[in-house]
C-alpha cells in the first residue's frame, strides 16, 4: 500500500521558531504529499526536532527520557544519538520520507507488540480469576492493601528511573557497563567463532531453569546459589533478589564451576519472611531481570546455541518500556522485524559494532524472542540433483529388465 493511502503520521515539531514551524508544516503537506501532519504534542505519534537550535540538546534528552515515540532530528552535522533518525540539512524530500517510513515501521511493530501484551495480560487475568493466588503470593499483591499499593507504586517509579538511566548510556559508557572477556575481541570477525558463551555455565542458566520449574508448578520457589537467595513469584511474573545491579553484574560473569559450596538448590517457598514483605524495591519484573542478566553474562558474546552464519529473526517487538535499552536495540529490532539476518549482517547493515548485536541477541534469546531461520539448502533439493537421481534410477531399472530377459 502506498503512503497516499495511509493515514498521515501525527507529528510534533520542536526547536523551531514560528517561520520554520510553518515552513515545515507546509513541507510535510506539499513535497512530502501529506505523509505527516503537524499536531499538538499530546496527540503526536512522532517528534521532529531541529537539532541545531539553542535548546536542541535539552529537547533531545527530554524526548528520549519522557517519550517512547520515534524521533527525527534535522541537523547540518551528522548526529550520533542512539534511537534517533538523522536527516541532514538542507532537508531532501527523499531523506525525510525515508525517515518517516522507518518511524512508521517502528510504530507498526510496537502496536502489534502492545496488542500481544494486552492479549497476554487479559489471558493472565482470566487464569488468575480461575486459579486464586496462593497465600505466599498474595503477600506481594497490593490491590487490597493501600500501604502495599503505595510501596509498589514507589518501586515502579524506581524501576522507571533505572530504565531511563540505561537509555541515556552512550556507547563508551555502555562498554564499561557491559564488561568484556580478557583475551577476546568480540568485534574481530576472525574471533567470531570464539565469541560464544553457554548460559548453563553461569547463574543465568540456573535462573532460567528455575523460572521454568516455578511456572510449571505454579508455585513460589527459592533458588539458593551460595550467594544470594532468589525468590520466584510465577503468578506475578516477578523475582525478588537481595542484591543491587552492581552486585548482580559481578556475579553474572562468574562461571559456576569456579564457585565453591553446596551448589544450586531449588526448593518451594512455604512462607514469605518479613524482610521480603518490607523490601519491595528488591522486586524485579521477570523479563526485565532476565534481559539484563543475559546481557551481563554475555559480556558482548552471543549464545553458543546459535549459528552466527545462519539468519536469525525476531518473533515480536521487545517491551522496551521495561527493559534496559542497549545501544542500537531499536534499530536492530526494526531490521529483524523486516527480515531475518545473520549476526554479522546486522552489524554491517547498521554500521555498528558486532558487540552491540551480540548483547542484544543474547538478551532477546534469553526471553525466547529470537529464532534461527533454516537454510534453504536444508529444505530445497536442487533440480539438477533430482534429475540426475531420477536418470540413475531409470537406468538401473532398464539394466535389471535386460538381465531378466537374458536369463
DSSP 294-341: HHHHHTT-EETTS-TTS-EEESS---TTTS---TTHHHHHHHHHHS-B
Of the candidates 109, 6, 110, the residue with the CA atom closest to the CA atom of residue 67: 110
Q: Summarize pLDDT for 329-374 with one digit per residue, the tens.
A: 889 999 999 899 999 999 999 999 999 999 999 999 999 999 998 7
Q: Quick check: 251 and 243 in contact, CB under 8 A?
A: yes
- Most confident range, picked from 3-12, 21-30, 297-306: 297-306
pLDDT (average), residues 54-60? 84
Of the candidates 330, 241, 340, 218, the residue with the CA atom closest to the CA atom of residue 289: 241
Between 157 and 82, the higher pLDDT residue: 82
Q: What is the C-alpha radius of gyration for the chain, rounded to an integer number of angstroms?
A: 27
pLDDT (average), residues 47-64? 86
The three cell numbers locating residue 378? 536444508
Residue carrying C-alpha cell 532468589: 230
Other beta carbons within 10 Å of 235: 22
Among 58-72, 260-274, 377-391, the least confident range: 377-391
Is the pTM value of this prediction over 0.85?
A: no
For the chain, the residue count is 407
pLDDT of residue 124 exceeding 90: no
CA-CA distance, 237 to 229, in Å (whole number)? 17
Residue carrying C-alpha cell 487464569: 127
Of the candidates 405, 103, 162, 138, the residue with the CA atom closest to the CA atom of residue 285: 162
Amino acid at each position: 500500500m502506498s503512503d497516499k493511502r495511509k493515514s498521515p503520521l501525527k507529528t510534533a515539531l520542536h526547536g523551531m521558531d514560528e517561520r520554520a514551524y510553518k515552513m515545515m508544516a507546509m513541507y510535510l503537506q506539499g513535497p512530502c504529499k501529506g505523509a505527516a501532519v503537524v499536531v499538538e504534542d499530546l496527540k503526536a505519534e512522532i517528534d521532529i526536532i531541529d537539532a541545531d537550535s539553542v535548546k536542541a540538546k535539552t529537547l533531545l534528552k527530554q524526548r528520549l527520557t519522557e517519550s517512547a515515540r520515534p524521533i527525527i532530528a534535522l541537523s547540518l552535522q551528522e548526529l550520533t544519538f542512539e534511537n534517533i533518525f538523522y536527516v541532514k540539512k538542507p532537508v531532501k524530500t527523499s531523506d525525510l520520507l525515508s525517515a518517516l517510513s522507518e518511524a512508521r515501521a517502528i510504530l507498526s511493530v510496537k502496536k502489534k507488540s502492545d496488542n500481544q501484551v494486552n492479549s497476554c495480560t487479559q489471558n493472565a487475568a482470566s487464569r488468575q480469576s480461575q486459579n486464586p493466588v496462593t497465600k505466599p503470593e498474595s503477600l506481594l499483591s497490593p490491590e487490597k492493601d493501600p500501604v502495599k499499593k503505595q510501596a509498589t507504586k514507589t518501586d515502579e517509579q524506581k524501576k522507571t528511573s533505572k530504565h531511563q538511566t540505561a537509555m541515556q548510556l552512550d556507547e563508551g559508557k555502555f562498554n564499561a557497563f557491559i564488561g568484556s572477556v580478557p583475551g577476546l575481541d568480540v568485534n574481530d570477525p576472525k574471533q567470531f567463532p570464539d565469541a560464544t558463551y553457554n548460559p548453563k555455565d553461569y547463574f543465568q542458566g540456573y535462573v532460567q531453569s528455575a523460572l521454568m520449574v516455578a511456572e510449571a508448578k505454579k508455585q513460589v520457589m527459592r533458588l539458593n546459589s551460595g550467594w544470594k537467595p532468589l525468590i520466584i513469584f510465577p503468578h506475578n511474573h516477578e523475582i525478588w533478589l537481595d542484591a543491587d545491579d552492581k552486585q548482580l553484574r559481578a556475579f553474572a560473569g562468574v562461571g559456576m564451576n569456579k564457585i565453591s559450596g553446596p551448589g544450586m538448590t531449588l526448593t518451594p517457598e512455604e512462607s514469605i519472611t518479613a524482610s521480603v514483605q518490607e523490601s519491595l524495591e528488591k522486586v524485579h519484573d521477570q523479563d526485565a531481570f532476565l534481559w539484563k542478566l543475559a546481557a551481563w553474562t554475555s559480556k558482548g558474546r552471543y549464545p553458543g546455541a546459535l549459528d552466527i552464519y545462519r539468519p536469525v529473526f525476531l518473533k515480536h517487538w521487545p517491551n522496551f518500556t521495561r527493559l534496559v535499552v542497549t545501544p542500537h536495540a531499536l534499530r536492530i529490532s526494526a531490521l529483524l522485524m523486516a527480515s531475518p539476518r545473520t549476526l554479522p549482517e546486522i552489524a554491517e547493515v547498521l554500521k555498528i559494532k558486532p558487540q552491540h548485536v551480540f548483547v542484544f541477541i543474547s538478551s532477546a534469546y534469553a526471553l525466547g524472542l529470537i529464532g534461527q531461520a533454516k537454510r534453504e539448502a536444508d529444505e530445497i533439493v536442487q533440480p539438477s540433483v533430482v534429475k540426475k537421481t531420477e536418470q540413475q534410477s531409470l537406468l538401473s531399472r532398464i539394466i535389471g529388465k535386460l538381465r531378466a530377459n537374458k536369463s
